[in-house]
Amino acid sequence: MMEAIKIGLEIHVAIPTKTKLFCSCNAYNEQEPNMSVCPICMGFPGSKPMLNAKALEIAKSVANALHSDIAKTISFERKVYFYPDLPKSFQITQLSNPISQGGFIELQSSKKIRIRRIQIEEDPAKILHEEDYSLIDFNRSGRPLLEIVTEPDIFNIDELKEFMNELKSILYYLGIDINTELKADVNVSNQGERVEVKNITGLKDMINAALFEIKRQEAARASGAIINKETRSYDGANMITVSMREKESDEEYGIIYEPDLGEYSIKNLPIIEPTYTNKIAKELAEKYSASEKLIIEQIMFDKNALQLINKFAGTYKINIVISAIEVLKRYNKTLDDEKFEALLIAISKNVLINSETINDIEQGKTIETSSEIDESLIDSAINSMLLENKQLLKDYVNNPKVFNFIIGQIAKKYNASPKYISTRLNILLPKFVAGK
């Protein structure tokens, strides 16, 4: 059966290099407009582009991570159009010999979303539109961009979300923060011709644009209209897409080979090894019989968490390691291995972890563990609390949340581990309820 909805993506992300793609200007100077510029990125006569090898290295690593066929030699093309943000009036991009072709990202369902091509290109300058004039900031001009083009293999919004999440995670582990600057064109066809939605910024708008387009095309079809090949633009403020042009008047870029760069062999460039967090989560979950979902939540966008799990799961129960990681996140702490281990021990021994204890661990103080707490003290505390306060018991029958209230009260009073209290309470409470 033909799929009703087909979505293909063209995703642009900034490559995190220190310098720009073709010159040695700082690529990420956000301080002062037009301060990170030179004759090359301003397109001055006589200047020539010099390719940044680090950008190639990162692009090659992405291609490798997405199982894409890496080209032996790459070359560049000039895409010519006139716009004030384009200093040379052409953009140096890749067409015939991109970084790589083919590849895929595998979803949880083991469905593969195919990648068509991966290429690098230069970012134009930034235009700031004011009320009756516009300003241009060339700091961004020549920043390296990575373009990832997929096949139209995404069939619904859930797949779109999962694909983007997975891609984000892969890129995150290669050092690319997709959140800073994600631009995309989203191609949507809903049982008709392909409609390309351009100028989308950010993941949220990608989803909104796709959703809008699916519904718009459905409604159009329902009313008997024919969906033609078309380019539309996303209006983020109103969350709608607006027609730019019908495909018949396809844009003419007069693309030619970039003679100033020639051909580059990328065969010998080093690769940063990829990390597939969903695969790792699955393996860890099986190995330690833990929840895959719990693990993936921790490691998808957290290199540190993955490192800690790899280092300490096994020696400590994986749930303890995850609890410890959650503690770090909650209190926004980073601990060295020794102190992290102290935290693991504390949690294993049911020590109540609050801002005080975590500070003690951070400062290397020894933590009083629950083994030193008089266990009968906790039992009698529970007993007296329940005996003295009949209302609590009544409430518990109607509202089990009271359980947590009791734990909280006692934990506070005796500085004891909530887990331990909870174990005792589980034993003692039914007796009281039955006794009543």
Partner 1 sequence: MNSIEEFYSLEKKSGYAESLFNDLSDINSRLNAFLNITRISGQNYPFSVKDNICVKNVETTANSKILKSYLPPFNATVVERMLSKNFDFIGKTNMDEFGFGTFGLNSERTPRNPFNEDYVAGGSSSGAAIATAVLKYHIAIAESTGGSISAPSAFCGVVGFTPTYGAVSRHGLIDYANSLDKIGLMSRSAKDIRYVFDIIKGPDNYDSTCIDIEKRKMQSDEGKGAKNTIFIINQINDLLDESVKSHFSGLVSKLENMGFAIKTIDFNLLDKAIPTYYIISMAEASTNLARYTGFKYGLKNNEFSKDYNSFFTESRSNFGTEAKRRIILGTFVRGASVKSKYYSKALKVRGLLIAKMKEILRQGFILSPTMPIMTPKIDDANSLTPVQNYGLDILTIPPNLSGFPHVSFPYDYDKGLPMGAQLISDHFEDYSLLDFVENWENSFKYQFKYNLGSI
Contacts with partner 1, 4-43, as mask; x by CB under 8 A: -----------------------------------x--xx
Binding residue (CB under 5 A) for Zn ion from 6, 28, 34, 38: 38
Mapping DSSP onto H, E and C, the string for 261-330 reads CCCEECCCCCCCCCCCHHHHHHHHHHHCCCCHHHHHHHHCCCHHHHHHHHHHECCECHHHHHHHHHHHHH
Binding residue (CB under 5 A) for Zn ion from 25, 280, 386, 425: 25
Of partner 1, Zn ion, none, which one does residue 41 interact with (CB within 5 to 8 Å by kind)?
Zn ion
**Does position 50 bind Zn ion by CB under 5 A?**
no
- Burial of 205 from C-beta contacts in 10 A (0-12 / 13-18 / 19+): buried
Q: CA 172 to CA 179: how far, in whole Å?
A: 10
Of Zn ion, partner 1, none, which one does residue 331 interact with (CB within 5 to 8 Å by kind)?
none
Tokens coding 187: 């191609």
252-291 binders of partner 1 (CB under 8 A):
252-257, 259-262
**Does position 175 bind partner 1 by CB under 8 A?**
no
Q: CA 5 to CA 313: how far, in whole Å?
A: 42
Of partner 1, Zn ion, none, which one does residue 45 interact with (CB within 5 to 8 Å by kind)?
partner 1
101-160 binders of Zn ion (CB under 5 A):
none
Of partner 1, Zn ion, none, which one does residue 256 interact with (CB within 5 to 8 Å by kind)?
partner 1
At its nearest, how many Å lie between Zn ion and the CB of residue 45? Answer: 15
Distances (CA, A) of 6 to 9, 150, 168: 10, 11, 21
49-78 binders of partner 1 (CB under 8 A):
49-51, 78
Q: If you ran DSSP here, which 8-state letter would residue 19 be given? A: B
Q: Which one, of 248, 304, 249, lies nearest residue 275 by Cα?
A: 304
Q: CA 245 to CA 62: how far, in whole Å?
A: 33
Question: Is the CB of residue 242 less than 8 Å from the CB of residue 233?
Answer: yes
Binding residue (CB under 5 A) for Zn ion from 9, 11, 13, 23: 23
**Does position 87 bind partner 1 by CB under 8 A?**
yes
Site residues, partner 1 (CB under 8 A): 39, 42-51, 78, 80, 82-84, 87-90, 133, 250, 252-257, 259-262
Site residues, Zn ion (CB under 5 A): 23, 25, 38, 40-41
